[in-house]
Amino acid sequence: MTNPTTTVTAPTSRTADIAASRRRTASATTARRQGLGRAIASEWIKIRTLRSTWIGMALVVLVLVGFGGLAAATSTGSVAGPSDGGGGTDPLSVVLSGANFAVLVISVLGCLAGAREYSSRMIAATVAAVPRRWQVVVSKSIVFGAVTAVTAVTGVLGAFWLGMAILAGGDAATVALTDDDTLRELAGMAGYITAIGTFGLGLGILLRSIAGSIGAVVAGVMILPPLAGALLPASWDEILQYLPSSAGAAFTTVQGAGREVLSPGAGAAVLITWVIAALGGAIISISHRDA
C-alpha cells in the first residue's frame, strides 16, 4: 500500500531544490552582469545627489575666479593691496592666484569622496553590490575625476577671462589664449587640480579616514614641498622635483616650491604616477580588507 505522506513530500522536496538552484543561478547571473558601466552609473547617482558635492565644486570655481579677479584688480591699483597682486608680475600667474586655495578645496573634496562611505558604513552595501571590488575604486575615480575636470576647466577659464579683462581695463600687461604656452599652462593647471583631487580620493579609500587622508594630502602637497625646499640643501633638488606639487609646477609654472627642474612632459608623467600609485593602493586595500 502506498504511503500518501511519502508521495506528497518527495515532489515538494524536489520543487524546493529546483527553486533554490534557480535562485543561486539568478544570483550568479546578476553578479556576472554587474560590470564597470553599472558601477560608474551608480557612482554618478551618488555624487550628483549629494548637495555637498556641488557646493564644493562651486567653491572651487568661486575661489579660482574670485581670487584671480581680486589679484588682477590689486595689481592694477584698483584695489589696495600688494603691488604684484600676490601672484607675481606675470599676467597668467596673477589671474591664477587662486590656484593654491582651489587645490586645497579639491583635495579635501577628494578625500571626502574616498573615505566618506567608510565613516557612514555605506561601503558594505557598495562592495556587496559590486562584487569585483576594483571596480568600486575605478568607477569612483572616473566619476569624481570627470566632475573635477569640468569644474577645474570652468574655473581656470573663468579666472583667465575675468582677470585679463580687469588687467586690460587697468592698462596692465595681458596675454591672449593663443599666445605661446598660455593654453598649455591653463590646461596644465586644470589637469593639476583634477589630479590632486583624484589623488586625495585614492588616499581616502586607502586610509579609510577622512581626517587622516586630508592630513596626508595637505601635508604632502602643500606643506612638505616648500618646507623641504627651504630647509634642505640644493643637492636635494633632484629628489624634491618628484614630489606631486613640484611635478605639477613643471607644467603649470604657478604651483610648487619653485625648485623644480623637470620638463613639462616629465612632470606630468610623475604626477600621473603618484595618482596611479594612490589608486593602486586603494584597489589593493579594498580588495584584501574587510569593508
The answer to whether position 58 is within a domain reads yes
pLDDT of 143 above 90: yes
Higher pLDDT, 3 or 132: 132
State residue 254's pLDDT score.
54
Average model confidence (pLDDT) across the chain: 85
CA pair distance 54, 136, nearest whole angstrom: 21
pLDDT tens per residue, range 152-205: 999 999 999 999 999 999 888 899 988 888 999 999 999 999 999 999 999 999
pLDDT of 41 above 50: yes
What lies within 8 Å, CB to CB, of 221 at 6+ separation is 103, 107, 196, 199, 243, 244, 245
The answer to whether position 18 is within a domain reads no
Handedness of CA 225, 226, 228, 232 (dihedral sign): positive
DSSP letters along 248-264, please?
HHHHHSSSS-S-----H
The percentage of residues in the chain with a pLDDT greater than 70, rounded to a whole number, is 81
| Domain assignment of residue 206, given as a range | 36-288
pLDDT tens per residue, range 56-87: 999 999 999 999 999 999 988 766 665 544 44
The answer to whether position 53 is within a domain reads yes
Higher pLDDT, 110 or 225: 110
pLDDT of 15 above 90: no
CA distances from 143 to 13, 111, 121, 179, 201 (A): 48, 14, 21, 32, 11
Please provide the distance, in angstroms rounded to a whole number, between the alpha carbons at the two ends of the chain.
58
Higher pLDDT, 276 or 238: 276
The answer to whether position 40 is within a domain reads yes
**Running DSSP on this structure, what letter comes out for residue 174?**
-
The answer to whether position 175 is within a domain reads yes
State residue 12's pLDDT score.
54
The answer to whether position 6 is within a domain reads no
The answer to whether position 10 is within a domain reads no
Domains identified in the chain, total number: 1
CA pair distance 13, 156, nearest whole angstrom: 68
The answer to whether position 167 is within a domain reads yes
Q: Give which of 119, 114, 136, 258 is closest to 196, Cα–Cα.
A: 114
Q: Which long-range contacts (CB under 8 A, 24 or more apart) does 169-176 make?
A: 169/76, 170/72, 170/73, 170/75, 170/76, 170/77, 170/78, 171/76, 172/72, 172/75, 172/76, 172/91, 173/91, 174/91, 175/91, 175/92
State residue 24's pLDDT score.
55
Residue 10 pLDDT grade (very low, low, confident, very high; cuts 50, 70, 90): very low
Residue 16 pLDDT grade (very low, low, confident, very high; cuts 50, 70, 90): low
In which residue are the cell numbers 596673477 written? 94
State residue 56's pLDDT score.
95
